[in-house]
Structure 1
């Protein structure tokens, strides 16, 4: 890609595009609710993220268009001598740019961001059914060193 890829904090006006990218995925189709107007829970979540200095919802912008999104959460831990960790979640690229290196640039940017926040490690999870995503992250140096577990609650 010849043009410069920019990263910036998401703004309220970006929320529609962000949710659309999150829903444009086999798993996202089953768990997101992309419609107009957006359900209020997306707006509430966005506001909570924006008000938390340890959460950053970032968009990747190319030629004025949002083409990627990810969220980074910075968490202090007592373990590792009181170290901080960065957790990357909700990584998506627009289908128009998939396979063009945008995801690599996004994750590389997030790793550098974690370093500026003095994190001792970056962690992320991806669904086990996402074999391409697992290979992608492994190619960027991530190692499957832990087994992750989740306990889901039914929403009201």
Structure 2
């Protein structure tokens, strides 16, 4: 198994993994556009696990800045997926350990993520990696029809016109 950064050529395989997990088509064109825009941004980390030249798992990490205390950043994990044919082989653990190493290298204070309530199989896995689901409660809200509504104009502060 190799854990490495996602490459453009991996996107079709990643779309197939997402289909397997969420039973929802991903737009390959939109994936390519988004990946082209974010791939060189050090605050976005896209990792894949490769087994015998096949994408067996993936996750995304996003570094967010903080404005309190020592203003250390934190990392958000999203889209953790392991192909059902490769589960129970340490792939998810390897992906999480790699993103944790990246978070440490970026001086992150903590890592957060959410998992759906019905994913009861995921709870023992995340607990085994040191994550405590009982300490916090996560919230998530889908926006509009799959988030496709147009956004309002950005808020502006008229008191400080810089």
2:52 matches 1:63: yes
Whole-angstrom CA distance in 2 between matches of 1:16 and 1:112: 27
Aligned to 1:148: 138
CA contact (8 A) 1:49 1:57 kept: no
Indicate the structure (1 or 2) with the bigger Cα radius of gyration.
2
2:111 matches 1:138: no
Whole-angstrom CA distance in 2 between matches of 1:79 and 1:20: 40
**Gaps spanning 5+ residues in structure 1: where?**
none
2:5 matches 1:9: yes
CA contact (8 A) 1:8 1:59 kept: yes
TM-score, structure 1 as length reference: 0.84
Match of 1:102 among 73, 77, 91: 91
Q: Could you say which structure has the higher helix fraction?
A: 1
Aligned to 2:159: none
2:105 matches 1:116: yes
**Gaps spanning 5+ residues in structure 2: where?**
150-162
**Which SS does the other structure have where 2:89 is aligned?**
coil
Q: Could you say which structure has the higher strand fraction?
A: 1
Aligned to 1:21: 17
TM-score, structure 2 as length reference: 0.81
Following superposition, the deviation at residue 33 of structure 1 comes to 0.9
Q: Could you list the runs of 4 or more consecutive aligned residues of structure 1 that deviate by over 4 angstroms after TM superposition? A: none
> 1:27-66 counterparts in 2 under 5 A?
28-29=22-23, 32-34=24-26, 38-66=27-55
Aligned length: 145
